[in-house]
Amino acid sequence: MQRTMKSLACKPHAEVPADLVSAIDYFGDPQFCQQLVASLRWADSTPVCPLCGCNQSYYCSTRRVWKCKDCAKQFSVKLGTIFEDSHLTLQQWLPALWMMAKGTRGLSSRKLALLLGTTHRTIWFMQHRIRLTMRTDSFKRTAPAKRSEAA
């Protein structure tokens, strides 16, 4: 059975998290996290194989991966991103990414590790990957930066 990605509906804007605890709840559903990353990665809702570039694939729901019809390789939304080669789930990555993109200060990596259920070393690894990505041109802000009116 061939499945294509439908229009991915995200949670309403009113539910966007205001703090880290609500962000952990917001990104708590694995299906929602996968759909969110997929909608950001493939804007036209058509998964593209990062290995061969083919845009014909089908979804394997039991493993949450797509299988390319051209090269017959499996790929997920994590392949080719900062999430690749990480045993961490998107439910752990996205709150940490949200926190760093929001610019929240005053939260130690040890506290974040406790909240996400990982080790301090794992959070340190995540933060370094996120910081490196934010320094590159490939990182795009979805919300406009707030600017001071005083000039």
Q: What is the DSSP string of 55-121?
A: --EEEETTTTEEEETTT--EE-TTTTSTTTT--S-HHHHHHHHHHHHHT--S--HHHHHHHHTS-HH
According to the model, what pLDDT value does residue 119 have? Answer: 93
Q: Answer whether 109's CB lies under 8 Å from 100's CB.
A: no
Which residues are paired to 67 by β-bridges?
58, 74
Convert the pLDDT of each residue in 43-77 to its tens digit.
Answer: 787 898 888 888 888 888 888 899 999 998 999 99
Convert the pLDDT of each residue in 102-133 to its tens digit.
Answer: 876 767 888 889 988 899 999 999 989 988 88
How large is the average pLDDT for residues 30-44?
A: 88
User: 144 pLDDT band (50/70/90 cuts)?
Assistant: very low
According to the model, what pLDDT value does residue 151 have? Answer: 38
According to the model, what pLDDT value does residue 26 have? Answer: 92
On average, the pLDDT of the chain sits at: 79
How large is the average pLDDT for residues 22-28?
A: 90
Dihedrals phi, psi of 23, to nearest 5 degrees: -65, -40
